Amino acid sequence: MGLKSPKEYVDSLRDERTVFYRGERVRDVTEHPVTRRAIDHVAADYRIAEEPAQRDLMTYADEGGQRHSRYFKVPRNAEDLLRRREMIEASTRAGHGVVLLIKEIGTDFLFAMRAVATAMHAKGKTDYLPRLERYHAQCQDRDVAMAVAQTDVKGDRSLGPTEQAHPDYYLRVVSRNKDGIVVRGAKAHTTGSLLANEIAVLPTRALGEADRDYAVAFAVPANTRGLKMILSPFSESSPSEFHHPISGAHKIQDTLTIFEDVLVPWDRVFMDGEWQYAGAIANTFVQFHRFTAASYKLPWIDLMVGAAMLMADVNGIARANHVREKLSRLINYREAVLAMTKMSAIQHRMLDGGIAVPDPVLSNAAKFHFAENYHTMVRHVQDIAGGLLVTGPAEEDLANPETGPAIEKYLGGKQGVPTRDRLRLMNLIRDMLASEAGGYHEILSIHAEGSLETQKLTIVREFDAKPLLDFTRRCARLGA
């Protein structure tokens, strides 16, 4: 096999996984309206892979001519990374600006884990690499949806795993037996877990020798016994197309994911105790994942820029100097994020096992630039749109004959544009940037894929300073 249909994907989720939502067990995620909406959103991944126009981008043929989702293709060069970026952008466009993330992050894990397993292999830890390769091949063959659970709940963040009030604030191996390892702990904000077939787990940080039992990486099916997912209720929108043109149909789902003494069979264990490699896997994963992040942000930014431009026109202020100023900032923002993302692919580095990873300075700089400036860009779009964003009437008021005609009359903008279209634009902007979903996206901008601080640290650490320091020493005549 190689490619699932959307229907096969949906069917694959009827597996009795343990999901809670607002205090209730969700018996079948394909039936509950909230989870079903999320499933329909991400099923676009399988849908567009079947579209003739997108097929070449979304899939590739292996040496035997078998087609697979392109996500599973190990990147070997700039071209592979650039195509991956394009694919992520395209699938996010299919999600109307909202990332699908059912293969992006899982394959980020597979690539990183493969590189680290290769490094461990060279040091005599020879179990992991063949396991990971088999697992990777199976995932590709079954065209699975994958989630990744990385962020531990952490307790007091000023303390390490073994210093906490209880030992489970970071996920750990509590016992080992002939069948596998038993793990306990909880991972916070796992995106897409309830939409995935497989859930991969890896450490969230570098570890010391005393933290050996926390140095664990593995993958389990989503319906594994002892695995509980509590779906967050926040940023849920009504499905109104008028009021919530984006979030009514497209949104990201995160769970608190609890491992209550879950048994992981040995052939799914990719790290167990190799604390020296915890930092490497945590870090390599995020290098891939920040590139994914920078890639999937683009359609969202494009919607911001596009909505600002259309709104300026409809409001009759497109020629105002301060509006042009704001538009220029929005365009610059877009171009900087995109250019650094592309250049991180072009100037990639090679990891163990011949895997191409985007240049970490550039991918982090792209992600940081996005995050650091996001709120200001939100403000520019809100500013252009006007206060009506949050004081306008409801769809039902438009339908009401006592109020509808007055609304049509009074809330028009530039002549020739229907009032409803003006309100639709307002609603688009409010839904994206001034709503539950808007709040979610602000948090996403700064907390997903690592914090602002982590990105700064990475940038300084990974920067190749030597040529600059040599040049500076020469110009300053140090030692003269």
Residues 213-232 that bind a copy of itself (CB under 8 A): 228, 230, 232
E-only strand ranges, 27-154: 59-61, 67-69, 146-149
Q: Which span sits near a copy of itself by CB under 8 A: 136-144, 273-281, 288-296, 384-392?
A: 384-392
DSSP conformation letters of 266-307: GGGEEEES-GGGHHHHHHHHHHHHHHHHHHHHHHHHHHHHHH
Is the Cβ of residue 280 or residue 429 nearer to a copy of itself in the bound state?
A: 429
- Least CB distance to a copy of itself at residue 404 (A): 9
- What whole-number distance in Å separates Cα of residue 254 and Cα of residue 133? 28
- What whole-number distance in Å separates Cα of residue 251 and Cα of residue 375? 19
- What whole-number distance in Å separates Cα of residue 435 and Cα of residue 430? 6
DSSP 211: G
- What whole-number distance in Å separates Cα of residue 405 and Cα of residue 188? 49
At 106, is the secondary structure helix, strand, or coil?
helix
Is the Cβ of residue 239 or residue 439 nearer to a copy of itself in the bound state?
A: 439
Size of the site for a copy of itself (CB under 8 A): 147
Tallying the residues shown for the chain, one arrives at: 480
- Least CB distance to a copy of itself at residue 122 (A): 31
Q: Is 193 near a copy of itself (CB under 8 A)?
A: no
Is the Cβ of residue 91 or residue 435 nearer to a copy of itself in the bound state?
A: 435
- Least CB distance to a copy of itself at residue 206 (A): 17
Q: Which of 89, 143, 168, 274 binds a copy of itself (CB under 8 A)?
A: 168
At 171, is the secondary structure helix, strand, or coil?
coil
Tokens of 2: 């190689």
Question: Taking CB under 8 A as the rule, which mask of x and - marks residues 37-76 in contact with a copy of itself?
Answer: ----------------------------------------
CB proximity list for 89: less than 8 A, separation 6 or greater: 295, 296, 298, 299
Give which of 113, 130, 123 is closest to 217, Cα–Cα.
113
Q: Which of 9, 21, 277, 288 binds a copy of itself (CB under 8 A)?
A: 21
- Least CB distance to a copy of itself at residue 368 (A): 6
At 44, is the secondary structure helix, strand, or coil?
helix
- What whole-number distance in Å separates Cα of residue 153 and Cα of residue 213? 16
- What whole-number distance in Å separates Cα of residue 38 and Cα of residue 32? 10
Q: Which of 194, 216, 361, 370 binds a copy of itself (CB under 8 A)?
A: 361
Q: Which of 28, 141, 302, 352 binds a copy of itself (CB under 8 A)?
A: 302
Q: Is 415 near a copy of itself (CB under 8 A)?
A: yes
Neighbours of 20 (CB within 10 A): 16
Q: Is 442 near a copy of itself (CB under 8 A)?
A: yes
Q: Which span sits near a copy of itself by CB under 8 A: 66-74, 204-212, 218-226, 417-425?
A: 417-425
Q: Is 179 near a copy of itself (CB under 8 A)?
A: no
Q: Which of 27, 134, 225, 379 binds a copy of itself (CB under 8 A)?
A: 379
Q: Which of 113, 340, 351, 357 binds a copy of itself (CB under 8 A)?
A: 340
Is the Cβ of residue 182 or residue 331 nearer to a copy of itself in the bound state?
A: 331
Q: Is 22 near a copy of itself (CB under 8 A)?
A: yes
Question: Taking CB under 8 A as the rule, which mask of x and - marks residues 253-272 in contact with a copy of itself?
Answer: -xxx-x-x------------
Q: Which of 77, 265, 328, 354 binds a copy of itself (CB under 8 A)?
A: 328
